Amino acid sequence: MSSKKTCTVLKIEKLSDDTSSFEFKIDQGIFESVEPGAHLDVYLENDLIKQYSLWNWSEDHKRVSVAVKREDDGAGGSKAMHQLKEGQKVELDGPRNHFKLIPNAPHYTLVAGGIGVTPIFSMVNALQKHGASFDVYYLVQNRKLAAFAAHLDALNLGDNYHLHTDEESGYINFKQLLNESPKDSLIYACGPEPMLNALMKANQEQAKEHELHYEKFSASSDKQELESTSFQVKINSTGVIYEISADDSILGVLTDDGIDIPSACTSGVCGTCITDVLEGDIDHRDEILSDEEKTSNEYMCVCVSRAKSGMIVLDL
């Protein structure tokens, strides 16, 4: 459900040449569900809605901070963010969390690649406050790009903090990193797709795989190339059946017909459009639902996921 709120850009702080932090203050009330791993939708110019992970917030949950790396060849969201000015009003939705820290693990191994450090930083803060056992690996090309190095240094994590630069040490050896993680460690990772793929592959090659939780910035390139076929969607409350052609998405067809389904990323990475499913065999193509949630066949991201065949009945 949409929970858009009007906020003020309270403070913009440059963290490195290409990355700035944006602190937002809610105009009325508080931000609910502020927790490590959560992200916000930011409504920007040209109808762009972008998702950014919280890296910090005030104790009264009236202020939250995200950090954004400027991508000059991206879709424009990061450029629009970097054009915001202090004092400006902006609409935010969320936070929502599909990257939750599971409590009470014997050890956590946190791996952050580049700007993927933002949710990981919020996890580090929480784990440190709770006295949990953890290691954090911050992977960057070089020290100049380590936008959160000063913040991580300030936490005095000692040997539990590992800053790895490709320029000084070459690509990180994930097999070694995983080998060195204590037995039963939970692994949390956020970063670019090649980094996450390499980490997942190294984990699968371990004698005993660690439980790995990750968050991607964008849809996997292999999922974007999947072939699609047509199928039907039935709306349970009305009985109306829609044909979804190979080129259409469920979200597109239903919203075109006036059915209100909240959405933001439209690429399976934010979770805003998750819809309950009553019947049907789902072809999950999102990056949000866990394996257990996918296997349950009870929900789907209607922006990207489809039916394996036949008909899907949605609880709408």
In this complex, which beta carbon is closest to ligand FES, that of residue 94 or of residue 280?
Answer: 94
Q: Is 266 in the site for ligand FES (CB under 6 A)?
A: yes
Q: Return the residue of 263, 275, 285, 312 that touches ligand FES, per CB under 6 A.
A: 263
Q: Is 250 in the site for ligand FES (CB under 6 A)?
A: no
Q: Is 301 in the site for ligand FES (CB under 6 A)?
A: yes
From the list 81-89, 183-191, 192-200, 265-273, the region that binds ligand FES by CB under 6 A is 265-273
For 116, the enclosing helix (H) or strand (E) is none
Q: Return the residue of 92, 271, 275, 300 that touches ligand FES, per CB under 6 A.
A: 271
Q: Return the residue of 113, 116, 268, 280 that touches ligand FES, per CB under 6 A.
A: 268
Question: Residue 75 half-sphere exposure, CB side, CA atoms within 13 Å?
Answer: 13
Q: Is 178 in the site for ligand FES (CB under 6 A)?
A: no
Residue 182 beta carbon to ligand FES: minimum distance, rounded to whole angstroms: 34
Rounded Cα distance between 110 and 161, Å, is 10
Q: Is 275 in the site for ligand FES (CB under 6 A)?
A: no
Residues 276-295 that bind ligand FES (CB under 6 A): 286, 288
Residue type, 234: K
Cα–Cα distances in angstroms (integers) from residue 187 to residues 68, 176, 213, in the given order: 24, 14, 6
Question: Residue 109 half-sphere exposure, CB side, CA atoms within 13 Å?
Answer: 18
Contacts of 246-251 spanning 24+ positions with Cβ under 8 A: 249/302, 249/303, 249/304, 250/302, 250/303, 250/305, 250/306, 250/312, 250/314, 251/302, 251/303
Q: Is 93 in the site for ligand FES (CB under 6 A)?
A: no
Q: Is 303 in the site for ligand FES (CB under 6 A)?
A: yes
Q: Is 273 in the site for ligand FES (CB under 6 A)?
A: yes
Q: Is 270 in the site for ligand FES (CB under 6 A)?
A: yes
Residues 107-126 that bind ligand FES (CB under 6 A): none
From the list 145-153, 198-206, 264-272, 277-285, the region that binds ligand FES by CB under 6 A is 264-272
For residue 262, say if its preceding peptide bond is cis, omega within 30 degrees of 0. Answer: no
Beta strands at 282-283 and 306-307: parallel, antiparallel or unpaired: antiparallel
Residue 29 beta carbon to ligand FES: minimum distance, rounded to whole angstroms: 24
Rounded Cα distance between 191 and 110, Å, is 11
From the list 5-13, 170-178, 233-241, 260-268, the region that binds ligand FES by CB under 6 A is 260-268
In this complex, which beta carbon is closest to ligand FES, that of residue 25 or of residue 100?
Answer: 100
- Using alpha carbons, select from 58, 20, 44 the residue that is nearest to residue 92: 44
- Which residues, in sequence order, are bridge partners of residue 39? 53, 96
Kindly list the residues in this chain that would bind ligand FES in the complex (CB under 6 A). Answer: 263-266, 268-273, 286, 288, 301, 303
